[in-house]
Chains A and B, each alone.
Chain A
């Protein structure tokens, strides 16, 4: 029965394309996918190459000799590396939670018609999309008024609110959470908080999942706030930590006389170490992405309501 149905379906499918176009499209997609992933494969290969083979032959797809030296170098600084990982994970998790909370609170408030000042608050959020304070005033606010310098909050708070997402969420709340649902909840005696957490949030999962995803990526990849506000080596997040290693290697290679003053041994595998750094910083998030993506797609299909 089941099989028969399938066959029948196969025989008549208005969306099916011809065999040739199917093959062509698949090949095209395969090429595209390969082009996307090739540089990364190349980076992985270089990170495992021997530095002397790079010096003599340049970057090769199949180097004449392999080496784990680059990873051994990264292992030699593992304490700092793991610490940076911990900071990044803490900032990402905490930051995503705070960010999603703040954005959905703000967006929900300005999406409700009962809120008298919703236009003004919308405008305040919108205004920051057009004009920003600029780097130096932001720096002064964060270091001198809020005294966040050298704290974990300097990595979390500057990215916590994003005006564009607020506007997006507001639109989503307005369109996808019907007034009628809220009204019936109120008639059943639900408080405002209960309405928000038990009715509005579950209905808005797709939007929240989207924001959480972007915000996670934003926190994971952020290095600029660390560059500005962090001096304590124990609070440096992963991306900035790796960037610093790379900059330092570059600087010391260009200034051999200085590198002599600050290193006991001069044999850091520079090219390969840079590539190993890229691998180490990208791989975890690349591996985590498919899981996120599943949730993300599932989230998008959740929660339509009939009135």
Chain B
């Protein structure tokens, strides 16, 4: 019996190894043919994954574009879009299984995670070799921010580098009550206007639910108690809940909650406030140049805004949209050459973004463009995730100086202290998980003003400490100090 089992097992194992060997052989073949892909040979097919709902005309657009690309760099591109909700799940398994592809859209923490794992090739090196033009046009902040252990692993889309929180107001109410919103400098300044709306406009909630702006550079998201002050001592990591400004602002927030400016379930609710529903007076949004036009288009009614602070460049805003070249790519050179064209050649960029000229969009006199409907609805891809914004054509209703406005915004952005610093949480994973639980319990109710900060902030701090906040803080401070020293 025993013997038979062994024989069976052996047979199985052998058949599997034959299978595997065959596959290994295949791999060798294909990588050879990939390496020999010099100019004059068959054009190399670049496989590119990017985010967004797959579009009907994608293949048509790329067939058109590929004619141009074959001439230029002897390569063709196959762009595959994966839906918003699926994208990271699917990419993660592609990366983990070592599937062959060339370029992928990636952003934020997923970029850091996969870059650390070695999923992407050194973008800095590739830029130097095949992407000098792109390197020249990129805002320098993009080359300094998203570094993992000193190396850039993704090519950020050249667009706004900073973040700016703004108050967005319903314009009809602002005009009706002749409010002077330009004079609003702090949360407390909103009080009289909110009161007016509350008294006279029963159909409107004076404030949509939002977290107030606090002047900190957060290390692990804006709810965990680790941050660096944007003004004052920038070498020390603090628990921002305990800082005096936080208390002051949250007191105002809680006062607003008590007065009924905020909805009653603001502390627990996850309900978004859709722009198209006109039932609010003021809300907080993240601004980028000309966003007001887009908001108004979404909303269907007029809006006005007032910035809360100067634009600030954070790590997060620098990693908002990147293209990375996979370490499984068989021809990184071609992939980089394509990315270079995508960021510097207006024709390539416009075709990828808007479709085929004369089919999906038409050029008007003076260089501005107009969508051709309904064809354009068969090819709508998210502009932000693809590449350089500054070489895109303008729409007829875009302001003439749209890209100058972006440039101004970038020039005005001040750099946050931690640009380029990423906390490695490996040693304090358990503490962070415990702190994460406390955050779930307290962060939202405190930051949305639902509870009295004088009572709840000390309570939360106590729980954060019990969960190991000080240990994490020490580790973080040590890493940060070391990083600061390295910078000099």
Residues of A within 8 A of B (CB): 52, 55-56, 117, 119-120, 123-124, 135-136, 139-140, 143-145, 227-228, 231, 233, 243-244, 246-248, 250-254, 256-264, 266-267, 270
Contact = CB atoms under 8 A, between A and B. Distances in A.
A39 B319 CA distance: 42
A243 B381 CA distance: 20
Given A136-B93, A227-B89, A263-B380, A143 B279 contact: no
Given A253-B274, A260-B297, A260-B298, A247 B85 contact: yes
Given A145-B19, A256-B275, A264 B382 contact: no
Contact of B298 (A247, A248, A254, A266): A266
Contact of A140 (B90, B97, B295, B300): B97
Contacts of B4: 117, 120
B294 A117 contact: no
18 contacts: A56-B279, A119-B1, A120-B5, A136-B96, A139-B97, A145-B23, A246-B85, A250-B85, A253-B272, A258-B384, A260-B294, A261-B380, A262-B380, A262-B381, A263-B380, A264-B380, A266-B276, A266-B300
Given A52-B277, A253-B272, A256-B295, A144 B85 contact: no
Contacts of B291: 257
Closest 8 CB pairs of A and B: A247-B85, A251-B84, A55-B277, A260-B294, A266-B298, A244-B83, A120-B8, A261-B383
A283 to B, nearest CB: 23
Interface string B1-26: 10011001000100000010001000
B29 to A, nearest CB: 14
A263 B297 CA distance: 11
B80 interface: yes
Contacts of B82: 231
Contacts, number: 101
Interface residues of B, number: 47
Contacts of B23: 144-145
Given A248-B83, A248-B84, A266-B300, A261 B276 contact: no
B128 interface: no
Given A257-B286, A270-B274, 8 more contacts: A124-B12, A140-B97, A248-B83, A253-B272, A254-B272, A260-B297, A262-B52, A264-B373
B377 interface: yes
B477 interface: no
Contact of A262 (B5, B53, B300): B53
B93 A228 contact: yes
B303 to A, nearest CB: 11
Contact of A257 (B84, B90, B288): B288
A124 B12 CA distance: 10
Interface in B1-60: 1, 4-5, 8, 12, 19, 23, 52-54
A264 B376 CA distance: 9
Contacts of A264: 371, 373, 376-377, 380
A72 B8 CA distance: 59
Contact of B90 (A145, A228, A267): A228
Interface in B190-207: 203
Contacts of B1: 119
Contacts of A55: 274, 277, 279
B317 to A, nearest CB: 13
A227 B377 contact: no
Contacts of A246: 85
B414 to A, nearest CB: 22
Nearest to B82: A231
Contact of A135 (B5, B93, B203, B286): B93
A135 B90 CA distance: 12
A244 B53 CA distance: 9
A234 to B, nearest CB: 10
A256 B298 contact: yes
